[in-house]
A and B are shown apart, each in its own frame.
Chain A
Amino acid sequence: MSQSLRPILLFAAMAAALLAVGFGQGWPVMLVILNLCLISAVMSVGLNMQWGYAGLFNAGVMAFVAVGGMVAVLISEPPVMVGWEAGGARILVAGVMVATFSGLIYALRRFISRRWIKNWGTAALLVAAYFIIRPVFEGGVTAVESIAAASAGNLGGLGLNILVSWVVAAVVCMGVAWVIGRIALGLRADYLAIATLGISEIVVAVAKNEEWLTRGVKNITSLKRAPVPRETNLQQAEWFQNLVSTLSGTNPGDAGFKTTVIEASSIFVKLCFTGLFTIVLGIVLFLAIRALNSPWGRMMRAIRDNDVAASAMGKNVVRRHREVFIVGAAILGVSGAMLTTLDGQFTPTGYQPLRYTFLIWVMVIVGGSGNNLGAVLGGFVIWFFWIEAEVAAQWISVNMEKVLTPYLDVVLISLGEGSLKVQHGVTWLKNAAPHFRYLLMGMVLLLALRFSPRGLIPEAGAARAH
């Protein structure tokens, strides 16, 4: 198969699969899958920059996704004025103090060359900062969290349009990535993996426990998601009713018109998201491809393939790695903010490493490390199977139950008093069905890595020794 035809055929197959879902399971289901496919593709492009361009093992994708989600909350939620009055000032003061101490530590490490002063001074400053800032901060937190705990108990956000957060999330994630990069880049490759794994656990712990910031496990629901309208508002709007009536050929008085409007509003909202996400994916993909084909991208691949030679040519390997790590993290942050926008809520307990870190890895490896189109395809394919695997497993377990109903009391193995009957097997299958997709993803990753290490759409002209 020629190189140029292969991606087209693969994307056509993916589109056909999505269309099949549309006809089989209905268009709302298909659009739900498609929207998450688009977000997954953005994540996958972001991770592909870090892994595919530069060979960096980021085991903390979830950290950037969760930070993106938190930024979406803090930008779009209206400020909780009572909370600010109660303890906002103290928290702000604590924030200023954190900034001051960070500045001091930076200055110390920058301008003093004696190693022991540097290290002990940093340690002393950190300890001092902890004991000075903590009482100020905690007083504020207690005050904020005790105000209207059932409905708020937090400071809220800036009350801006949630689209703003997509940009801000990128900036914040760049900051986080800069810090991690300073610590863990330039050492053994797997140290970065462990450091990012740690950061991701901490970010999620912050999201769960800092109620003044995110309401923690009390969750933040019903985020405003303008410019996309809400279904209920749409159903009342006259222009929308007229549109539905023209498209479906029914009139507002007809029987069943209401159901049609409700269905149509759900599809319309999802299509709005699809449009927005497609634009973002388009921009990200365009930039990523341009970056990869620029001198910077070629240098990146050269460093990846032989860092010793690249460094002999005068390239600053650690610095370049930091750059690409930061850029990739920014894209991951955008995807996190998009995800929270789509959900319309922020639920910290939902962030699981298998889903938000390692699944993205499967996407990149399967799609094609180092190839942006491959990463997009991987995002689509893997998300599709992740969803449909569960549907398939449920379908199998339900049908097995139907088939086996007459034989539920047949004894399989008899063990003294108790015995293993068919019904035990059926119950087991029902309980096991939701876990099927983890097995599938593990197998897909292992098989892809073994038999198709360059992925569905391989990197052009790469002679990478796997």
Chain B
Amino acid sequence: MTDLLNALVLMLNFVIIPATSYGAQLALGALGVTLVYGILRFGNFAHGDTMAFGTMFTIFFTWLFQGLGLSLGVLPTALLALPFGIGVTALYAISIDRLVYRHYRVKRSAPVILTIASVGVMFVTNSVVRFLIGTNEQRFSDGQKFIIKARDFKEWSGLSEGMKLKTTEALTVVVAGIAVAALFWFLQRTRMGKAMRAYSDNEDLALLSGINPERVVMVTWIITAALATLAGVLFGLDKSFKPFTYFQLLLPIFAAAILGGVGNPLGAIAGGFVVAFSEVMVTYPYKKFLKYVMPENLEPSGLMQLLTVDYKFAVSFIILVAVLLIKPTGLFSGKVIRA
């Protein structure tokens, strides 16, 4: 019995808790991608770098507040800086739209031209981040590090396996939950949200009924910037901020968005969790787990790891390929916003 409990705690500690918070981060990222897909109708390659941009400004404001002596006690100061980071990123996203994307939208260019333009935006955003904060790793999480410490858990439960819960992990899930709830309330209940859904569903019909497309697009960019900054900051708090890793998040994020059905917010969330859980479960070495579960003489000899962590991109890729081969429309094909 203790062995089973130990195995359960092991799974919770190394698979379920980390994958849940990673999944929430991916879900926020995928929501941003899917919104741009749904409303603006192109794959935004600059999304990873937008996340880095928002995180960078949140870090700047965090430093400023830390310098001024402001803090949130047990919670990280970055939470206080978040609205300001989102504000700057939203301004940046709107100005980029004015300077770059609007031209192609007015001309009704093919979506792939907008995607290429987003590659240009990616270059520029990337260099702005490199200019302002450099390429080094930044850690900006402060406040209390753990909610449950592994040692305390062991003492409390008497098990040999510890379970830890980082503040950032709990925070990620809570903040992501609030953000998603707010987003769905906005899309379902408000006038603007309904306009966005209508615009995404049928652009011409929406225009005919007097919806102002420029306003829809502007609100979309504000929401996208907020989601990107949230995803970036939560990821950075949980792990660390390194500009290049944010570009690499593009693949799991796109995999999540496509898996959930492009343009479908609910699908993006589901996709984010599926990708995160697959990634963590496939790269987790099950040796210790099996030791607890299996009878004594059947202990495994190797690490029992399906893939090494170096190949975690492969997991997103395999999911992507499977979706493309079996159900290219994704799991949920369009309930709220359809491409």
Contact = CB atoms under 8 A, between A and B. Distances in A.
Given A438-B123, A445-B120, A445-B123, A432 B131 contact: yes
Interface residues of A, number: 47
B320 A198 contact: yes
A431 B130 CA distance: 9
Contact of B316 (A130, A198, A436, A443): A198
A432 B67 CA distance: 24
Interface residues of B, number: 50
Nearest to A449: B117
A283 interface: no
Contacts of A438: 123-124, 126-127, 130
B314 A466 contact: no
Contacts of A199: 317
A209 B247 CA distance: 20
Interface string B94-118: 0000001001000101111101110
A198 B251 contact: yes
Nearest to B115: A190
Nearest to A201: B313
A189 interface: yes
Contacts of B320: 194-195, 198
A107 interface: no
Contacts of A396: none
Contacts of A432: 130-131
Question: Among the interface residues B109, B119, B310, B320, which one has the most CB atoms of the partner chain A within 10 A?
Answer: B119
B277 interface: no
A127 B252 CA distance: 22
B117 A446 contact: yes
B324 interface: yes
Interface string B123-157: 11111101100100000000000000000000000
B130 A194 contact: no
Interface string A56-84: 01010000000000000000000000000
Contacts of B67: 415-416
Contacts of B258: 191, 194
A449 B328 contact: no
B122 A442 contact: yes
A8 interface: no
Contact of A361 (B103, B119, B125, B130): B119
A440 B125 CA distance: 11
Nearest to B312: A205
A450 B113 CA distance: 10
A442 B127 contact: yes
B244 to A, nearest CB: 8
Given A438-B123, A439-B128, A205 B314 contact: yes
Contacts of A187: 324, 328
B43 interface: yes
* Residues of A contacting B: mostly: helix
A358 B122 CA distance: 10
A439 B317 contact: no
A209 B311 contact: yes
A45 B104 CA distance: 26
A364 to B, nearest CB: 10
B176 interface: no
B57 interface: no
Contacts of B110: 189, 465-466
A189 B113 CA distance: 11
A314 to B, nearest CB: 24
A59 B45 contact: yes
A190 B123 contact: no
Contact of B317 (A193, A202, A354, A431): A202
Contacts of A55: 112
Interface string A150-191: 000000000000000000000000000000000110011111
B325 interface: yes
B250 interface: yes
A213 to B, nearest CB: 14
Contact of B111 (A190, A209, A453): A190
Question: Among the interface residues B67, B120, B313, B321, which one has the most CB atoms of the partner chain A within 10 A?
Answer: B120
Contacts of B223: none
A441 B325 CA distance: 35
Contact of A209 (B117, B128, B310): B310
A353 interface: yes
Interface of A: 55, 57, 59, 119, 130, 183-184, 187-191, 193-195, 197-199, 201-202, 205, 208-209, 353-354, 358, 361-362, 365, 415-416, 431-432, 435-436, 438-439, 441-443, 445-446, 449-450, 453, 465-466
7 contacts: A57-B116, A195-B317, A195-B321, A198-B255, A432-B130, A442-B120, A450-B103
Given A191-B324, A435-B130, 6 more contacts: A194-B43, A194-B258, A362-B123, A442-B122, A445-B123, A450-B100
Ordered nearest first, which 4 A-B pairs have the shortest CB separation?
A442-B123, A442-B124, A438-B127, A198-B317
